[in-house]
Chain A
Amino acid sequence: MDSVWRAAAIYIGLMIIMRLAGKRSLAQITTFDFVLLLIIGEATQNALLGQDFSVTNAMLVIITLVTLDIGLSLLKRRSKRIDKWLDDVPLVIVEDGVPLKERMDKARVDVDDVLSAARHLQGIERLDQIRYAVLERSGGISIIPKKNAS
């Protein structure tokens, strides 16, 4: 019984914290994001397993986590609202080469991030070559170049 509650509590707790951290926080943009991810994993481990190192416990924890994940994915398919709360919505941050400053501030993204994504994904070097830059739900930035970009 313990294992199931533990796993559920950790799952829900982590989900809330990750959502509060925002789209960008753990999108593995910097090396430190990756390190942070590892540390969170380590910190979670003991609380997940407790002092019970049996195979039964490990399997129970895994089954609980996977079942919760499946359950939530089913819920998300059913309700757009839940989907948004759990997985966020995309956000346009550059439109026709113009950065939408207020949005970028709120989402803690700067022009350098956009340009970096533009170079990386489209080989674009200037902001005015971008038609749209979208901060995706996953935290990545996708770039749609202008048609006549050269």
Chain B
Amino acid sequence: MTARKSSNTDSSGGAEGRARVNPFGEDWGFQVREWRLERIGWAVMVVIIVAALSGVLGGGGLVARTTVADAAGSTEVRYARFARYASPTTLHINLAASASGRPIRLRVSDRYLSEMNVRAITPPPTSTAIADRQHVFVFERSAQPASATIRFELEPTAIGRHLGWIAVDEAAPLTFTQLIYP
């Protein structure tokens, strides 16, 4: 009771700051603390909204997507830096025009794919294979040089940081990291 009395006399004082403990069970000290926390909470909610609008929380926005490309610029992977658990996210692989009519062998980290549901690949690969710690997707290519985009529609099945890499033919892999929110 003494603790309550002391906490009830703080703050603005005067008629407003005096606690009407009886008969209503008011607690002025608590009330003032609560209001302070409430205001902080509002600020936090505004920050969350701004962060969400910027894309940091996934679901699109300025910083939500980014690209990683190889030095020659012949392969570029566009991916969502931030995505959400069990929500669709896409991975675009842009390939520059190449003179060869050879099929494209796209190698993807199997560890990465084990944390994703692959809902669709557009265009569908003509064949797939399993190699050392990677899945190999083979796409036929026409004889004329043409740039191409391969799209993976994915759904994260695990929460946290996902490390992935993608490589075309024998080129060095392009690595990227995605953060998956619950």
A residues sitting closer than 8 Å to B (CB atoms) are 9, 16-17, 19-20, 22, 50-51, 84, 88-92, 95, 100-103, 106, 132, 134
The chain B residue with its CB closest to the CB of A50 is B86
Given contacts A20-B45, A22-B38, contact A91 B31 (CB under 8 A): yes
List, in ascending order, chain B residues with CB within 8 A of A84's CB.
27, 30
List, in ascending order, chain A residues with CB within 8 A of B30's CB.
84, 89
B residues 1-34 touching A (CB-CB < 8 Å): 12, 15-16, 20, 24-27, 30-31, 34
Pairs A–B under 8 Å by Cβ, sample size 6: A20-B38, A20-B45, A88-B34, A89-B25, A89-B30, A103-B16
B41 at the interface (CB under 8 A from A): yes
Apart from the given pairs A95-B15, A106-B35, A132-B24, 17 other A-B contacts in the complex at a CB distance below 8 Å: A16-B41, A19-B38, A20-B38, A20-B45, A50-B86, A84-B30, A89-B27, A89-B30, A89-B31, A89-B34, A91-B31, A92-B20, A92-B24, A92-B26, A102-B12, A103-B16, A134-B24
List, in ascending order, chain A residues with CB within 8 A of B86's CB.
50-51
The chain B residue with its CB closest to the CB of A100 is B16
- B24, B34, B41, B45: the one within 8 Å of A90 (CB): B24
CA distance A95 to B18 in the complex (A): 12
- The answer to whether A20 and B25 touch across the interface, beta carbons within 8 angstroms, is no
CA distance A88 to B157 in the complex (A): 39
List, in ascending order, chain B residues with CB within 8 A of A134's CB.
24
List, in ascending order, chain A residues with CB within 8 A of B34's CB.
88-89
List, in ascending order, chain B residues with CB within 8 A of A101's CB.
16
- What's the least CB distance linking B174 to chain A, in Å? 31
CA distance A92 to B24 in the complex (A): 8
